[in-house]
Amino acid sequence: MSIATALDALVPLLGERLARSKSDLDLHAGSESHFPPIAPDAVAYPLSLAEVQALVAICADHGCPMTGWGAGTSLEGHGLAVKGGLVVDFTRMNKVLEIRPADMDVTVQPGVTRQSLNEELRATGLFFPVDPGANATLGGMAMTRASGTTTVRYGSMRDNVLGMQVVLADGRIIRTGSRARKSAAGYDLTALLVGSEGTLGLVTELTLRLHGIPEATSAGICAFPDMHAAVTAVMETIQMGIPMARIEFVDAATARAFTDYSGMQMAEAPHLLVEFNGSPESVAQDAERFGEIVADHGASTFRWSAREEERRALWALRHNGYYAILASRKGARALVTDICVPISRLADAVEQTQADIAASLIPGPILGHVGDGNFHAVLLVDPDQPAEMAEAQRLSHRMAERALALGGTCTGEHGVGMGKLSHMRAEHGEGWDVMGQIKQTLDPRNLMNPGKLVP
Amino acid sequence: MSIATALDALVPLLGERLARSKSDLDLHAGSESHFPPIAPDAVAYPLSLAEVQALVAICADHGCPMTGWGAGTSLEGHGLAVKGGLVVDFTRMNKVLEIRPADMDVTVQPGVTRQSLNEELRATGLFFPVDPGANATLGGMAMTRASGTTTVRYGSMRDNVLGMQVVLADGRIIRTGSRARKSAAGYDLTALLVGSEGTLGLVTELTLRLHGIPEATSAGICAFPDMHAAVTAVMETIQMGIPMARIEFVDAATARAFTDYSGMQMAEAPHLLVEFNGSPESVAQDAERFGEIVADHGASTFRWSAREEERRALWALRHNGYYAILASRKGARALVTDICVPISRLADAVEQTQADIAASLIPGPILGHVGDGNFHAVLLVDPDQPAEMAEAQRLSHRMAERALALGGTCTGEHGVGMGKLSHMRAEHGEGWDVMGQIKQTLDPRNLMNPGKLVP
């Protein structure tokens, strides 16, 4: 009973879809963030529910850890097999199973990416709105409770997963939720599993809410004299009930990185990027009202457009933000922080973070989903200088403590993974033990993504 | 170690706030629905977290069941102490603790009712939108995952509880969630507890999302030639993205009951009642577009108004719907069904239900929150005729089976309580066992509202 015997037993089930080559292991050893590579013992590429159930049964028999894998875009090392064993790569379970336009929902396999889903949906007039930037898989997005630029309007994965099919650690298959828009029938297992990071089971199917593609969209950008003015403008916009589809903040350092990366000229100043969805009249009206608010706060002229190519250029800039910032320091790796605070504390949180970074050894441009109170400092470290990584860890730790002191959370959207475990006790107190009890009940031998999320 | 010794031990803690008089027991023995009275052994009226924690510790020591109580408006017998023991009445923990207008959130004790919260909020320009009709307590609404007329726009308790303070069965106090608008920090214990019906712990504090009172509201009503036309109009309105704040269906029998109860004249035909929130221009535009859609489906002229007194009269009618229907059969008790189905199956579900009721011994007017696919048949039985209750049970059972066959749920908003236990296996399969495992872990001696929700 060992990992080795489990892998031997998996060969008849998976054949060549049980990969043990160095290249396969290396591909599943890395992450987009600062964690050192950790290779699993093997990678499985299941094609069906039946195969997932069978591989879980074999792994359970032999005590072999199982860690799910989607597009590998996690920033907190969720997919790294820190206790060894099997990485279960879902990228070949990538079918859109059923689109139901009348119900505005869709059932997909976990390896479908958000962009490929939206391509398949194009003819229906519907779309799936959750947009974390990276082209992640929907299974991975559900398991990390992903959100992103559109959450201020459309919600996160918490709000857009109607139900799941999951294989539990003991091989049972459960279906959670239903296709009804709401239910009061017992514990909300869907919500328990969304954000569980693969520690309770492997998701094999998801049913997701869809939304109508808005008739019209307007988007624009403006610069502010300082960060405080930008954040105050966001707060006023929310309080006036102007419905933003996206509202993104970038600081002066990020604006400079964008300019250098894209060639688009941005002033080296804090900016807001904003988008409105609705009818042609309403998006024009929303943009005008927003323009008045930001002018009151000393913003540069608010340039907006309802033309698709201009909007696309703007959001391509934002979507490449992480890579633009990475490129701003040659050879750097990034530690990306992810705190989220009540909106009234956002200006304080950003200001204190900027002061911390300014007084530190390393650069750390800031950008974020300010409509939700969520922002990231992308701390850039030279991987050959251990002192820099220690400095980034110190800054990250101070940010998390600050978020908790302000009534917020250490991670708004990236998840716990390996990077936020040390903050869970401070954030949840005895609630973290309750999470551990639930884990212990459903996975008593700790085979599902061990080393993540729970005590 | 018994209920009797527990009550003796509670006297020094609670004094006169441990009530054992017949009138107190009788007040906590009944429900608004068809269940026969079940009196607890005593009623506790705690005033603070410390008292709740102390009473839980005493009850745990003596093995005494604890059942939470709010306004007593549950339709599924949630508050009935079916295993005896203590009912914990939270109506004296009724303080609004802190309103934070800039963050659009509020922290309340569980005994605050939704109407009293909205009264306290009036000066802020904010409101709490979840509206189940009855003036329930917010603790009760959270624990039953309540929703109602405004859910199509503002969501249910699932979407509007940011966090809770809960005393668990072993006396631990946990705080779930945070005041951040989103978080990816571990299992979503808030979502697990919302809808847990007091089976995992007693809630002592809630933090809730607030929403801006809309600048303008328009509301209206129209009659349809048949139910199918009304439901099709709702589906089209959703698909066109017209943002309804409320959309309610009443069938011909309900329309007649409304007329008899209120004196307001309604044609004896299916009706839709609708409301839009927004700017003065947008609510007028929404009402006009809705008027065009319903006209295409043969509706009577859509009469709408943005005047507050007319809107209030309309919604008072809807809010009194249950009592109007009860009054339509003298001396009757009601068994209220609560299925919710995917919107594309709503017309089928209502039609088949109407046919079932028409072929039965008893009347059952239908009304519902059609924007969510949720509707109720109010089955009216003579309490002195056991055959009628058996008939109502049979109809209710068939409705629940129909909902599951159509991809829906046996309860959209009323909860499991005592009435829906028999459908949980069919709805959740082995997922129901998972709920049982979670319960067993957090309340191994089954002291928290025993006899409800789990196997």
Interval B28-44: pLDDT, tens? 998 877 889 999 999 99
CA distances from A283 to A276, A455, B238, B241, B281 (A): 6, 47, 19, 14, 13
Chain A residues with beta carbon closer than 8 angstroms to that of B176: 428, 431
Which of B188, B241, B453 has the CB atom closest to A192's CB atom?
A: B188
- The answer to whether residues A415 and A194 touch, using CB atoms and an 8 Å cutoff, is no
Dist. CA B8–CA B12, nearest whole Å: 8
Q: What digits encode the pLDDT tens for the residues A236-271?
A: 998 888 889 999 999 999 999 999 998 888 999 999
Q: How confident is the model at residue B320 (pLDDT cuts 50, 70, 90)?
A: confident
pLDDT above 90: residue A399: yes
AA identity, residue B331: G
Mean pLDDT, residues B232-247 taken together: 90
Chain B residues with beta carbon closer than 8 angstroms to that of A408: 178-180
ipTM over cut 0.85: yes
Q: Is B179 on the interface with A (CB under 8 A)?
A: yes
Cα dihedral: B213, B218, B219, B223 (round 10) = -150
Chain A residues with beta carbon closer than 8 angstroms to that of B442: 434, 437
Q: Is B187 on the interface with A (CB under 8 A)?
A: yes
* DSSP bridge pairs for A208: A106, A161
Which of A100, A144, A412 has the CB atom closest to B344's CB atom?
A: A100
Report which secondary-structure segment, H or E, holds B354. helix B346-358
* DSSP bridge pairs for B248: B273
Dist. CA B311–CA B106, nearest whole Å: 27
Name the CATH code of domain A96-212 (choices 3.30.465.10, 3.30.1020.10, 3.30.360.10, 3.40.50.150).
Answer: 3.30.465.10
Dist. CA A249–CA B230, nearest whole Å: 44
Dist. CA B427–CA B405, nearest whole Å: 10
Return all residues near A296 (Cβ < 8 A) that are at least 6 apart: A233
Q: Closest approach of chain B CAs to the CA of A68, in angstroms?
A: 17
Q: How confident is the model at residue B239 (pLDDT cuts 50, 70, 90)?
A: confident
Tokens 């699993």, located at residue = A40
Q: How confident is the model at residue A33 (pLDDT cuts 50, 70, 90)?
A: confident
CA distances from A170 to A57, A198, A412 (A): 7, 14, 31
**What are phi and psi for residue A336, nearest 5 degrees?**
-105, 120
Asked if the Cβ–Cβ distance from B437 to A437 is below 8 Å, we say: no
Asked if the Cβ–Cβ distance from A105 to B342 is below 8 Å, we say: yes
Chain B residues with beta carbon closer than 8 angstroms to that of A241: 212, 214-215
Outline where A63-137 has alpha helix (H): 114-121
* Substitution target from A176, A182, A372 for chain B, most B beta carbons within 10 A: A182
Closest CA to A156 of A142, A177, A170: A142
AA identity, residue B8: D
Q: What integer pLDDT is reported at residue B318 of this predicted model?
A: 86
Chain A residues with beta carbon closer than 8 angstroms to that of B182: 147, 151, 156, 158, 340, 372, 374, 409, 412-413
Tokens 């050192």, located at residue = A36
Q: Closest approach of chain B CAs to the CA of A291, in angstroms?
A: 18
Q: How confident is the model at residue B183 (pLDDT cuts 50, 70, 90)?
A: very high
Q: What digits encode the pLDDT tens for the residues A338-383?
A: 999 999 999 999 999 999 999 999 999 999 999 999 999 999 999 9
Q: So where are chain B's domains?
A: 3-89, 96-212, 216-323, 329-416
- CB half-sphere exposure, B337, CA atoms < 13 A: 34
Q: Taking the domain B329-416, which CATH number applies?
A: 3.30.70.2740
Tokens 């990276």, located at residue = A134
Report which secondary-structure segment, H or E, holds A186. none
Q: What integer pLDDT is reported at residue A32 of this predicted model?
A: 79
Q: What integer pLDDT is reported at residue A70 of this predicted model?
A: 97
Asked if the Cβ–Cβ distance from B403 to A180 is below 8 Å, we say: yes
Closest CA to B182 of A343, A124, A413, A165: A413
Q: What digits encode the pLDDT tens for the residues A415-438?
A: 999 999 999 999 999 999 999 999
Report which secondary-structure segment, H or E, holds A374. strand A374-381
Task: Residue window 131-170, chain B: list those with CB within 8 Å of chain A.
Answer: 144-147, 151, 156, 158-159, 168
Averaged pLDDT score across all residues of chain B:
95
Q: Closest approach of chain B CAs to the CA of A138, in angstroms?
A: 16
Dist. CA B288–CA B161, nearest whole Å: 34
Q: What digits encode the pLDDT tens for the residues A86-113?
A: 999 999 999 999 999 999 999 999 999 9
Task: Residue window 23-42, chain B: list those with CB within 8 Å of chain A.
Answer: none
Can B96-212 and B216-323 be said to share one CATH topology?
Answer: no
Return all residues near B322 (Cβ < 8 A) that are at least 6 apart: B133, B334, B336, B378
Which of B176, B180, B373 has the CB atom closest to A408's CB atom?
A: B180
Domain B216-323 grouped into CATH 3.30.70.3450: yes
Q: Taking the domain A216-307, which CATH number applies?
A: 3.30.70.3450
Task: Residue window 261-290, chain A: list those with CB within 8 Å of chain B.
Answer: 282
- The answer to whether residues B344 and B239 touch, using CB atoms and an 8 Å cutoff, is no
Dist. CA B426–CA B22, nearest whole Å: 39
Which residue did the predictor score with more confidence, A41 or A238?
A41
Q: What digits encode the pLDDT tens for the residues B255-313?
A: 999 999 988 889 999 999 999 998 898 899 999 999 999 999 999 888 888 888 888 88
Tokens 């031997």, located at residue = A8
Dist. CA A71–CA A90, nearest whole Å: 9
Gyration radius of chain A's alpha carbons = 22
Asked if the Cβ–Cβ distance from B407 to A180 is below 8 Å, we say: yes
Q: A3-89, what's its fold?
A: 3.30.43
Q: Is B327 on the interface with A (CB under 8 A)?
A: no
pLDDT above 90: residue B315: no
Which of B101, B415, B430 has the CB atom closest to A184's CB atom?
A: B415
Architecture label for domain A329-427: 2-Layer Sandwich (3.30)
Q: What integer pLDDT is reported at residue A317 of this predicted model?
A: 84
